[in-house]
Structure 1
Amino acid sequence: MAEDTKSVETKDSVVLAELGYKQEFKRAFTPWESFGIAFSIIGLLPSMASTLSFSLSNGGPVSMVWGWAVVAFFVMFIALALGELASAAPTSGGLYFWTYKYSSPRWRKLTSWLVGYCNTMGNIAGVASIIWGCAVQLMAAVSIGSGMTFVPTNGQLFGTYAALLVLNGLIASTATRVLARLQGFYAILNLLLCLVIIIAVPSATPNEFHNTASYALGEFANLTSWPNGFAFILGFLTPLWTIGGFDGPIHISEEVSNARTAVPWAIVTAIGIAGVLGWVLNVVLAFYMGTDPESILSSPIGQPMAAIFFNCFGTKATLAIWSFVVIAQFMMGTSALVSTSRQTFAFARDGGLPFSRALYRMNAYTRTPVTCVWASVLVAFVLGLLAFAGPTAINAIFSLPVIGLYLAFMIPIIARFVGGRPWAAGPFNLGAWGLPVGIVAVVWQAFNIVVVSFPSEPSVTSDTMNYTAAVSGGWIILCLVYFFFPRYGGMYWFEGPRANVERMEASSESASVDEKGSVGVSH
């Protein structure tokens, strides 16, 4: 068994060397734990709790049940398209690496740069939004325990957020083996939490909150001024936010055993299970939440799912269940921070970030990029300060993950098919289905970049304005300015992925070598 494990690790190291990188991480993640990091970042129940207001106000039961089904179906196309890429070239840099590898020589530096920055900043903003959601959920528990007399201030929320951020940083700084074992535990807890809710809600909910099948599966409750059809589309925001961040396994590719197979299957299975379990959870909530979504949204608890649980279970049982929701949300933050630190490390390794030399460091004791963990914590802390500018500002920043990550997903998928570069499939291969799956994935993501940019109401005020497009567009403009800046911009020094290992003799026949002699990618 030990020999088999060593053989797999050797093959993984050879594959990584063919891509141009030496093995710096310890390969301690099993396929199950690779699935665990994806499923933990999705964080099904706590993510639904943080975003349920979108589907409740934009269609109610119909959006919750059928809107979820639509989104889960199409997100699977993204998973399949990314799975093929991850199988072909499993590296922590993933998305920007593939963009450079498959884009045309004319555009590869710019597109790789843009994807690297969108992915890095999108992931850091994702960490910030997850941990801010955890702070809000924790304060909701305090509110329930106080009999709804406690209302947190911005200062209290931010203080809680900062403390949770530091705790996440401490955990994410531990050794790879510890982090791998935690992912398996996180996955089990998330699965059990979903199953408990699916069983407990129908059993405990008082009769006055029971709904008929016609209501739960067919009632359309539009609490906005948008037409019903468009309100239904805006209800997609709940599943779009929930089934997100699934690029986690990509960024731990250099820590996963048998990465060419384990990483793509981790992405696909995590999204598949989240899609099905999430749909069942929505059906259960639609049957047992009562018929007044407006009262749920306006509850003094300040958390729609917590309000539903309060109606179902009462104070003590809700607090007991909600404590596990908060724990699962905290675990999401840890997993997202691990993934983010690996993306940051990879991009710094290739010289793409400011202070790359300082960031590209591996802790000698833990064999993990501790410097990148705390750099990500620092940036997330700064983003959290925008809470003092009001909910509109903080929500705009926390919208960065959707557009940033979708752009980072779309561009390498497009590059693979239109860049004109050689394609060698890995073990996870869709064959002839790769192109149609890729087309659907790209069109779906482009459509939803538009959707997430719309305001909550057609009559736009400073409170209802959606600044997502402005913030994301501003970030992209800054990235482009930094790239084209005279003399000092990235166009003068960024060379894409940089090979840092001598080509291994055993892999010389399978390595792709360009005219300058680099390994895996052309410089």
Structure 2
Amino acid sequence: MAHKIPTGRRRPIHPAAYSKDRAPVENDSDSAVLATLGYKQEFKRAFTPLEVFGIAFGVICPVPSIVGVLGDALPNGGPVALVWGWAVCAIFVMFISLTLAELGSAAPTSGGLYYWTYTYASPRWRGLLSWIVAYCNTIGYIAGLSAVDWACAAQILAAASIGTNMSYTPTIQQTFAVFVALLASHIFVASMASRVIARLQRLFIGLNVMLCLVMVVALPIVTPHELQNTASYALGGFTNFSGWPNGWTFILSFLAPLWTIAGFDAPVHISEEASNAAVAVPWAIVLSSAVGGILGWGINVAIAFCMGTDVASIVDNPIGQPVATILFNSFGQRGTLAFISFSILAQYLMGADTLIVCSRLTFAFARDGGFPFSSMLYRMHPRTGTPVNCVVACVALGLIFGLLALAGPGASSAIFSLSMAGLYVSYIIPVASRFMGGREWAPGPFSLGRWGLPVGIIAVAWMSFTVVVFAFPSTPAPSSSSMNYTIVVLGAWIVLCLLYYYLPVYGGVYWFKGPRANIQLDHDTKQDAEVASEGDEKVSLTGSSQSMPQMT
């Protein structure tokens, strides 16, 4: 039986416990802070603050993400959706990232959102809510992995089509085959040692910035004059191919920017591999959202000015991807193939980062016994020091979600929506719990102060609204192939997790008591934890007047 920590309030993490220039060292103040949360240090702390930002920026990955979802924006508003729809979403996303950053600074653990939910929710509901958050967060990342690799497969086959002068037209079965190969190959990348994964983030940052600069700077230079749009059209042109009223059509275009500027909680799930986690993690969340939003907006403006006015031919094109068509019209065949090659590499690495984050989340909840077969998932590979079993499990579930895409274009779009809906549900609950659960708040080094409440209210209201939007079909009268299956799949997932929770005798309601301590609280651990806390009120791991999750 794991050691039990009596209910008591964890002290705020003192900023002085962290040094911005400190190299990753085992058993340092980061490990002591983790001990106050009830967990022993199991990962190597190999990520510097730059590399923590890198994994968040790698999951956002502006250019490949826009390539994958531009087809959702152009029919639902055209240039107005690209420019102003993106701007609206980027602003509201910052409210979400700020409130998650504050929570991530207060409790930097790989479990993240479900841990925070259990900490701050009402004692009556915290077990169930924490359970729902963990399962929704997991399905969000697994669906995200499927969506990223599906879009990457589509890019690869679009490049093949361009290389054959459009004589080759890929089938959905061929796309699925490439998708499966990409998923399988990611197992190797995501299973590497933390040190190798951390260093790769620097490559990811450079590659993403290069692609953004090409889109923002080079695209306007090489675009033929006849395809260059006036400012009035690029900033005010509106197209509606959906059949919905114009206002709702514009709102439906939000899927594109919200899919792109997503997964910014990624740094939270590698916080146990990060140096100076309570500072590096929140700043990575905020900066990745801000940089991704600004660069993405610049890319969309460049596209709006350089795509011409025949939106219908861009959407319905022989290549199969609107962005590839726009690039082909501007760069020509060779230039487009060169650009897409780098974009494919970036998207492949984006899939790898998504799988890395998902595996760490899975490992954390398995550590707390929340998944079926948790004892098998909660294992570290002896050579790499990474949760390889969790990596394989995430890929297997990602493959199952990928099968949805075989049902038609509506089903493949639902994978994107499902990812966003799952993630946003898992964001809403801990943020709302913090303010409504009645528990005392202990901020970390990154704190919004008195602005925390209004920022949280705006974030929750915006996410609640967009979760509804994600469930709508692309047309008012959808067919079976164009239907949005997000609500069906997400609803079925939540029902299954609730059935598992309330299953008679064996359900989680009987044994899941939230985060479980896995650390022996010896004298040295207590002493280290006290050093990492405020000097005037030392942390006591055997009892305190303040509250923290009950660990069993």
Contact 2:526–2:540 under 8 Å retained in 1 = no
Distance 2:470 2:24 in 1: 46
> Residue 330 of structure 1 aligns with which residue?
348
> Residue 460 of structure 1 aligns with which residue?
478
Match of 2:526 among 489, 505, 509: 505
> Residue 85 of structure 1 aligns with which residue?
103
Instruction: Give the superposition deviation at 1:465.
Output: 2.0
TM-score for both structures, normalised by structure 2: 0.92
Pairwise mapping of residues 64-75 of structure 1 onto structure 2 (< 5 A)? 64-75=82-93
- Alignment of 1:137 with 2:155, yes or no, is yes
Q: Percent identity?
A: 57
| Secondary structure of the corresponding residue to residue 215 of structure 2 | helix
> Residue 238 of structure 1 aligns with which residue?
256
Instruction: Give the superposition deviation at 1:398.
Output: 4.2
- Alignment of 1:128 with 2:146, yes or no, is yes
Instruction: Give the superposition deviation at 1:5.
Output: 3.0
Gap change, CA 1:479 and 1:3, over 3 Å in 2: closer
| Secondary structure of the corresponding residue to residue 141 of structure 2 | helix
> Residue 192 of structure 1 aligns with which residue?
210
Unaligned runs of 5+ in 2: 1-18, 531-536
- Alignment of 1:522 with 2:550, yes or no, is yes
Q: Residues 65-100 of structure 1, C-alpha deviation per residue, up to 9 Å, x if partnerless?
A: 011000000000000000000000000000000000
Gap change, CA 1:153 and 1:85, over 3 Å in 2: same
- Alignment of 1:425 with 2:446, yes or no, is no
- Alignment of 1:414 with 2:432, yes or no, is yes
| Secondary structure of the corresponding residue to residue 520 of structure 2 | coil
Pairwise mapping of residues 170-249 of structure 1 onto structure 2 (< 5 A)? 170-249=188-267
Distance 1:272 1:111 in 2: 29
Instruction: Give the superposition deviation at 1:472.
Output: 1.1
Distance 1:405 1:38 in 2: 15
Match of 2:303 among 267, 285, 294: 285
Distance 2:21 2:70 in 1: 49
Contact 1:352–1:494 under 8 Å retained in 2 = yes
Instruction: Give the superposition deviation at 1:282.
Output: 0.8
> Residue 46 of structure 1 aligns with which residue?
64
Gap change, CA 1:211 and 1:395, over 3 Å in 2: closer
Instruction: Give the superposition deviation at 1:2.
Output: 13
Instruction: Give the superposition deviation at 1:511.
Output: 3.7
Distance 1:10 1:518 in 2: 24
Gap change, CA 1:347 and 1:2, over 3 Å in 2: closer
| Secondary structure of the corresponding residue to residue 28 of structure 2 | helix
Distance 2:538 2:187 in 1: 39
- Alpha carbon RMSD of aligned pairs, Å? 1.9
Gap change, CA 1:28 and 1:60, over 3 Å in 2: same
Distance 1:196 1:133 in 2: 20
- Give, as a single letter, the amino acid of the residue that structure 2 aligns with 1:166: A
Identify the range of structure 1 (397-406 vs 486-495) with the bigger mean alpha-carbon deviation.
397-406
Contact 1:132–1:161 under 8 Å retained in 2 = yes
- Alignment of 1:396 with 2:414, yes or no, is yes
> Residue 4 of structure 2 aligns with which residue?
none
Distance 1:511 1:98 in 2: 19
Distance 2:119 2:269 in 1: 17
> Residue 16 of structure 2 aligns with which residue?
none
Match of 1:55 among 67, 73, 98: 73
Identify the range of structure 1 (196-205 vs 170-179) with the bigger mean alpha-carbon deviation.
196-205
Gap change, CA 1:499 and 1:462, over 3 Å in 2: same
| Secondary structure of the corresponding residue to residue 221 of structure 1 | coil
Match of 2:324 among 306, 319, 343: 306
Distance 2:208 2:416 in 1: 23
> Residue 33 of structure 1 aligns with which residue?
51
Contact 2:407–2:481 under 8 Å retained in 1 = no
Distance 1:3 1:45 in 2: 31
Gap change, CA 1:391 and 1:213, over 3 Å in 2: closer
- Give, as a single letter, the amino acid of the residue that structure 2 aligns with 1:314: G
| Secondary structure of the corresponding residue to residue 476 of structure 2 | coil
Unaligned runs of 5+ in 1: none
Q: Residues 453-493 of structure 1, C-alpha deviation per residue, up to 9 Å, x if partnerless?
A: 11111123223321211221121111111111111111011
Gap change, CA 1:8 and 1:66, over 3 Å in 2: farther
- Give, as a single letter, the amino acid of the residue that structure 1 aligns with 2:220: P
| Secondary structure of the corresponding residue to residue 314 of structure 1 | helix
> Residue 475 of structure 1 aligns with which residue?
493
TM-score for both structures, normalised by structure 1: 0.97
- Alignment of 1:164 with 2:182, yes or no, is yes
Distance 1:394 1:61 in 2: 24
> Residue 320 of structure 1 aligns with which residue?
338
Match of 1:375 among 388, 393, 398: 393
Contact 1:204–1:313 under 8 Å retained in 2 = yes
Distance 1:470 1:116 in 2: 19
Gap change, CA 1:121 and 1:63, over 3 Å in 2: same
Distance 1:387 1:226 in 2: 24
> Residue 511 of structure 2 aligns with which residue?
493
Identify the range of structure 1 (149-158 vs 353-362) with the bigger mean alpha-carbon deviation.
149-158
Identify the range of structure 1 (489-498 vs 218-227) with the bigger mean alpha-carbon deviation.
218-227
Gap change, CA 1:102 and 1:235, over 3 Å in 2: same
Instruction: Give the superposition deviation at 1:505.
Output: 2.0
Identify the range of structure 1 (18-27 vs 384-393) with the bigger mean alpha-carbon deviation.
384-393
Distance 1:440 1:172 in 2: 35
Distance 2:413 2:85 in 1: 22
Match of 1:252 among 247, 250, 270: 270
Distance 1:219 1:449 in 2: 27
Match of 1:149 among 154, 159, 167: 167
Match of 2:370 among 349, 352, 364: 352
Gap change, CA 1:515 and 1:17, over 3 Å in 2: closer
Contact 1:397–1:468 under 8 Å retained in 2 = yes
Distance 2:440 2:208 in 1: 40
Instruction: Give the superposition deviation at 1:426.
Output: 0.3
